[in-house]
Amino acid sequence: MKPTTQKTIDDFLSHADEMADDVLAGTEEWLGTVPFIFKLMRERPEAFVFSALGDYKTARPASLDARTAELVAIAAAAGAGADKCVRVHIGAALKEGATRDEILDTILIAGILGKTKILADSLRVFKDSF
C-alpha cells in the first residue's frame, strides 16, 4: 500500500470511535432500531466503520429510491431466511412509503424464486439419479 493511502486510512480511523457512534445513531433513525450485530461489531470501531459505511452505501445506491431499496432488502432478507431482517426492513419500507401490498408482493416474489431454487437443485439431482 502506498504511504499516502495508509496515511489517509490512518487519518480516517483516528475518528473511528466518533464515527461508530454516529453510524449507530443514523442506523436507528434509518431502520428504527440498531441491529444487535451492529452493537457487537461496535466493540471494534476500526472494523465496524468500514463495514457499516460500506453496507450503508450499498443499501442506498444512487440508482434506487429509498422505498425501492427497502423492497429489495426485504426480498433479499426473505430469500436468505433472515426473518429479523425482514421485520426491520418492513418497518423501514413503510417509513419510506411502501404499501402493505407492495411489501406482500415483494415477499411473494422472493418466495417464488426460493421455491424455484429448491426445485431446480433437487430435481437436477433427481434427474441425474435416474
Pick the CATH number of 63-130 from 3.30.465.10, 1.10.3720.10, 3.10.450.50, 1.20.1290.10: 1.20.1290.10
Q: Could you give the CA distance from residue 48 to residue 41 in angstroms, rounded to a whole number?
A: 6
pLDDT mean values, one per 10 residues, the chain (130 residues): 94 96 94 93 95 92 97 96 96 97 97 90 95
Per DSSP, 97 falls in state T
Q: What's the chain's Rg over C-alpha atoms?
A: 19
> What pLDDT is recorded for position 109?
96
pTM: 0.84
Q: Could you give the CA distance from residue 30 to residue 22 in angstroms, rounded to a whole number?
A: 12
- CA 25, distance to chain mean position in Å, is 16
Q: Could you give the CA distance from residue 14 to residue 112 in angstroms, rounded to a whole number?
A: 47
Domain ranges of the chain: 1-59, 63-130
Helix (H) or strand (E) holding 124: helix 100-129
> What pLDDT is recorded for position 85?
95
**HEC profile of 25-67:** HHHHHHHCCCCHHHHHHCCCHHHHHHHHHHHHHHHCCCCCCHH
